[in-house]
Amino acid sequence: MSHCSTATPQDNNVNDTEEPLKKRIKIDHNGDEKKMSSSAMEVTATAEVDEKLYSRQLYVMGHEAQRRMMASHALLIGASGLGAEVAKNCILAGISSITLCDPNPANSFDLGGNFYLKEADVGSSSSRAELCKGKLAELNKYVSVKVADMPSLEKEAILNLVDGMSVVVITIPLPTDILHAINEKCREVNASFIYTLSTGLFGKVFCDFGKDFVVSDKDGENPASSQVENIIASNPAVVKVLEDQGRHGLETGDFVTFSRVKGLDGLIDEKSRQYEVKVTGPYTFELVGCDFSAASSPATQGYITQVKKPVSMSFKTYADALEDPGELMMSDFAKSDRPPILHLAYKALALYSEKNALQYPQPGDDNAAQQVLDLAKSIDSDNILDGNAAAERIILHLASGSRSILSPMCAALGGIVGQELLKACSGKFTPINGFLYFDADECLPEKLLPQTEVSPTGSRYDSQIAVFGKTAQQKLLDLNYFLVGAGAIGCEMLKNWALMGVGCGEKGHIHITDMDRIEKSNLSRQFLFRDDDISEFKSSTAARAAKVMNTDMNISDYVEKVGSDTEHLFGDDFYDKLDGVCTALDNVEARLYVDQRCLFYRLPMLESGTLGTKGNTQVVVPHLTENYGATRDPPEKSIPVCTLKNFPNQIQHTLQWARDYFEGEFKQSAEDVNSYLASPNFAETLAKEQNTKLDTVKSIRRTLVAERPTRFEDCVVWARLKFEELFKNQISQLLHNFPEDQVTSTGTKFWSGSKRCPKPLAFDLYSKCEDAGMRNHFDFIVAAANLRASMFGIKGRNDEEYFRDVLNNVIVPDFVPKAGVKIASNESEAKEEAEVTNRGGEMDVDTECEEILNELPKQSELAGFQLTPVDFDKDIDEHMLFVTACSNLRALNYSIPTEDTHRSRAIAGRIIPAIATTTALVTGLICLELYKITGTSQKELQLDALKNGFVNLAIPFMTLSEPTAPAKTKAILEGKEWNWTAWDSLDFNMGDITLQEFLDIFEKKYRLDISMLSYNVSILFSFFANRKKVEERKKMKMSEVVTSVSKKQLPPNQLFIILEVIANDLDTDEEVELPYVKFRFR
């Protein structure tokens, strides 16, 4: 027998002050758990975390939580649509094992939600669990996927499976007495219990994690951090933070630690003490019980970090919660009365099923649906249904569609439940305490559809037909949609569409594009990809995988970026055939471009995004809602240049500096050399870059002549001298200009506030930083030398003994301060220096450039020679080793806490944390909006039926809200008031008429006199233009006028010309504010 050991790596997202482990799990060599601990916090795996695979997820969960998941085992009862979603999400997340328990055969309703079942599987002798096992196992080689061998779901057989499990999840209806028994058994063995159902457009989730479940991190947010402006020597001590760094973000009762505190006679205990906080303002707080009044001086600098404390939660059993659910979690505040109704409805549905051999009502069986409603009335002790016709409608719809397994609902609930499962295994994030009910009844018609419209046909779409009817299903099949992006959201979306039948009819089609290729880090959430697909294009691979799920899907894949430079491919003729666009993008710029296309072509846009456990969805519908770009977040603040160059105070500053240095030293310098070698007229090219040409030629001289290596040893020497220059000499020069005791003209210390006084570093091959535990000195030399060698095509090496021998023989010149060196002390001085440089000394610059160019070897002497520029890639370890070491060394210069490579990778690479559960949830929510847009029988789409969503699975929190209507602009047209929006335009569909005909229409139809007409930057017509030219153009067709004035031919796939008009009312002579003119000339 082997024992799980405890691991406590440094991780910013996990508090490292957790309670000691009271118990340990015993696991045999086959991974079978023999004894379960009382808390997920007490479980820790010994296996190493595959950081390449779980890269993005680790920024959500953290290493410690990931290790706990890797030591956890789940029992999943039910392998229909919801079960498959939950299994997929927890397997991608990397738990140790999952046991599938479902002896039931597949039926046509299962095909609506289980993406690993095929039509041929219906009627198979194999169970749903057996049919899914192989495909699920392919998702993650580290996860053991098993199938419980049992002929039926008998109570005792199920209870025997609970032993050794961390969590039990039930996704299919079971008799209430068996549910209670499983719940009680879970409590006995300290396993968490989750019961969830997806029935048509309604769903429920219940969680019982025991009497005393410990949550290590309730919200997953990074600990609040700030910088000390001063700590007053008083009783109690009062802390004020630097206001330009933002509010401290603390609450009374929080605990904090301090580091790098300067002053206060050393009274602050930075090593072991946590200080309790009493907040007195957004930038001030007191330290409870701390009397620092005896200190001779206040503290003037330092770092403050919040301590995240574990919390304990208590849960009700399923039996107790059924009778007294307490406060029910809300998902839509417009439906505040809905959770109690659904609680009652599901109790009635359970009673009905137990009276009918665990079968739910058949679709369209009005009598059976009425029986469920009658049962609800009979147990309605709170009189919820008295005179409540709306509540009765909800129960009837739930009952009628209860056999339906809808992919969007399974995806949404599977994301929620999958995260609850991970909470049970990891102890991270706050679980749902009790019940969550969720519904999308806005998709439904007001009344039940007739049985002829909803009765099963034995097709893969029976689940959707049961809810929406055959007519609506045909609309889905005939949809033509453009999916922009084939990453995590794109994969989930394609899976949902394959099950829904989107683009799977004779008239339907899906277009998908993504220019990226598959990387290993994608595999933990982009579930359509496998190891064998690495380096393949995402779009084509995802298209093939979706086609396997539904062979009827009509899909075309592209590897092009969507933007102005690809409008020859995605142009008027392309968008003209679409019914809508779905974005699965990772940047705002691309979203805004697609938004403008959707505005112009008046197409719905389905938008969603995730950030760790947070997710958002936005549905954009022509004329009903505002467009995506109508509201925008403010741009990110940039770091001032002088802060980066000389006065950093945060690790973000040093990482940006290290990134910039990487780009300049290993990429730009090589590109400059290659440009010189490839251009015989390099001097002429250089003349166009007056502000940077001197730096460019100096860089070429250094790289090509003064510092050009011929062997790897030269690269090591170069790296050692760079260390001296960057982390000792430059700092010494800065202190020469601004000594530590310098005061400003106002008498304040220069080195105070956000300006941290630096200290030069003495090179030490064995030095290890306290915070990150990294050998930054050694790492910098190794990474810099190897990157330099790769530029010059020299073979690198990493053995420490070799580096030690070479470094011992490097002669490092002593530092001598330079006189006359100007260093900007603030941003305004930096701008002044740049302006002076740009204005003056051009003759000196030209002369010096010419002299340097004459010193360089001629291109003919280096024929065939070329350097290899190094493009920074956050996922290449050697690149990140350099950036991390470089950043940390600069941080050590300025007494800034250092970071390890994992955290540095997130900051420097601007990595977006991601996890499969959130992705599944947002795509499920957005596909529910697709149902509404496509159109439900007997119901006209209204704004209040649409829902935008924001979720945070960590808290947990979900809110769905009505989208905002588009802003209106008032105009008088044809004598009538017209309130137009961004969706509107003046549409001309009369063919390629002449300019005169165009002007006449405005005058006669709209009573408007056009004073100016323009196309892009070209003025086609104006009252002040040359009269002769105007008369000539009036006789020309509109397309001819455009090509004549713009001097550009219109592409063959362009159907529309966009015209801007300035016009006055002929009756009032007032200018009328108009939208653009959409002129169709083909």
pLDDT of residue 32: 38
Mean pLDDT of 1056-1061: 94
Both tokens of residue 1004?
């006669």
Asked if residues 328 and 339 have their Cβ atoms less than 8 Å apart, the reply is yes
Residue count of the chain: 1082
Judge whether residue 622 has pLDDT over 50.
yes
What is the pTM (predicted TM-score) of this model?
0.91
Judge whether residue 5 has pLDDT over 70.
no
Active site residue 642: yes
- In this predicted model, what pLDDT tens digit does every residue of 780-802 receive, in sequence order? 999 999 999 999 999 999 999 99
Q: Can you tell me whether residue 708 is helix, strand or coil?
A: coil
- In this predicted model, what pLDDT tens digit does every residue of 802-832 receive, in sequence order? 999 999 999 999 999 988 788 877 777 776 6
- The residue from 290, 642, 849, 886 that is catalytic is 642
pLDDT of residue 554: 98
Measured CA to CA, the distance from residue 820 to residue 432 in angstroms comes to 65
pLDDT of residue 820: 77
End-to-end CA separation in angstroms for the chain = 77
> Would you place residue 21 in the very low, low, confident or very high pLDDT band (cuts 50, 70, 90)?
very low
> Would you place residue 147 in the very low, low, confident or very high pLDDT band (cuts 50, 70, 90)?
very high
> Would you place residue 836 in the very low, low, confident or very high pLDDT band (cuts 50, 70, 90)?
low
Largest CA distance in the chain: 98
Q: What percent of the chain is predicted at pLDDT more than 90?
A: 81
Judge whether residue 350 has pLDDT over 90.
yes
CA-to-CA dists, residue 771 to 271, 723, 775, 899, 901, angstroms: 12, 21, 11, 7, 12
Judge whether residue 15 has pLDDT over 70.
no
Asked if residues 215 and 429 have their Cβ atoms less than 8 Å apart, the reply is yes
Both tokens of residue 989?
């569909």
pLDDT of residue 834: 61
DSSP code of residue 729: I
> Would you place residue 835 in the very low, low, confident or very high pLDDT band (cuts 50, 70, 90)?
low
- In this predicted model, what pLDDT tens digit does every residue of 877-924 receive, in sequence order? 999 999 999 999 999 999 999 999 999 999 999 999 999 999 999 999
Radius of gyration of the chain (CA): 34
pLDDT of residue 632: 82
pLDDT of residue 44: 58
Mean pLDDT of 525-545: 97
- In this predicted model, what pLDDT tens digit does every residue of 471-485 receive, in sequence order? 999 999 999 999 999
pLDDT of residue 837: 54
Asked if residues 471 and 939 have their Cβ atoms less than 8 Å apart, the reply is no
Give the range among 388-392, 502-506, 849-853 with minimum mean pLDDT: 849-853
- In this predicted model, what pLDDT tens digit does every residue of 648-659 receive, in sequence order? 999 999 999 999
Give the range among 13-17, 355-359, 469-473, 930-934 with minimum mean pLDDT: 13-17
> Would you place residue 120 in the very low, low, confident or very high pLDDT band (cuts 50, 70, 90)?
very high
> Would you place residue 842 in the very low, low, confident or very high pLDDT band (cuts 50, 70, 90)?
very low
Q: What percent of the chain is predicted at pLDDT more than 70?
A: 94
Q: Which CB contacts under 8 angstroms, 24+ apart, belong to 826-829? A: 826/642, 827/640, 827/641, 827/642, 827/643, 829/642
Both tokens of residue 675?
């440009």
Higher-pLDDT residue of 250 and 854 is 250
Q: Secondary structure of the chain: what % helix, strand, coil (to 5)?
A: 40, 15, 45
Judge whether residue 9 has pLDDT over 60.
no
Residue type, 220: G
What does pLDDT average to over the chain?
Answer: 91
pLDDT of residue 27: 30
Q: Can you tell me whether residue 709 is helix, strand or coil?
A: coil
- In this predicted model, what pLDDT tens digit does every residue of 261-274 receive, in sequence order? 999 999 999 988 99
pLDDT of residue 864: 83
Pick from 107, 112, 86, 119: nearest CA to 927:
112
Measured CA to CA, the distance from residue 597 to residue 620 in angstroms comes to 12
Return the sign of the alpha-carbon dihedral for residues 1075, 1076, 1081, 1082: negative
Top-confidence range, 247-256, 683-692, 1016-1025? 247-256
Mean pLDDT of 278-297: 96
Judge whether residue 8 has pLDDT over 80.
no
- In this predicted model, what pLDDT tens digit does every residue of 995-1025 receive, in sequence order? 999 999 999 988 899 999 999 999 999 988 8
Mean pLDDT of 758-777: 95
Mean pLDDT of 352-368: 94
Cβ neighbours of 852 (radius 10 Å): 17
Residue type, 34: K
Measured CA to CA, the distance from residue 915 to residue 614 in angstroms comes to 10
Asked if residues 943 and 121 have their Cβ atoms less than 8 Å apart, the reply is no
Higher-pLDDT residue of 456 and 86 is 86
Pick from 532, 492, 534, 533: nearest CA to 512:
492
Mean pLDDT of 844-873: 88
Q: Can you tell me whether residue 857 is helix, strand or coil?
A: coil
Judge whether residue 313 has pLDDT over 90.
yes
Judge whether residue 685 has pLDDT over 60.
yes
Looking only at the bridges linking them, the beta strands covering 311-313 and 213-215 are antiparallel
pLDDT of residue 1067: 84
Measured CA to CA, the distance from residue 641 to residue 648 in angstroms comes to 10
- In this predicted model, what pLDDT tens digit does every residue of 433-459 receive, in sequence order? 999 999 999 999 888 889 889 999 889
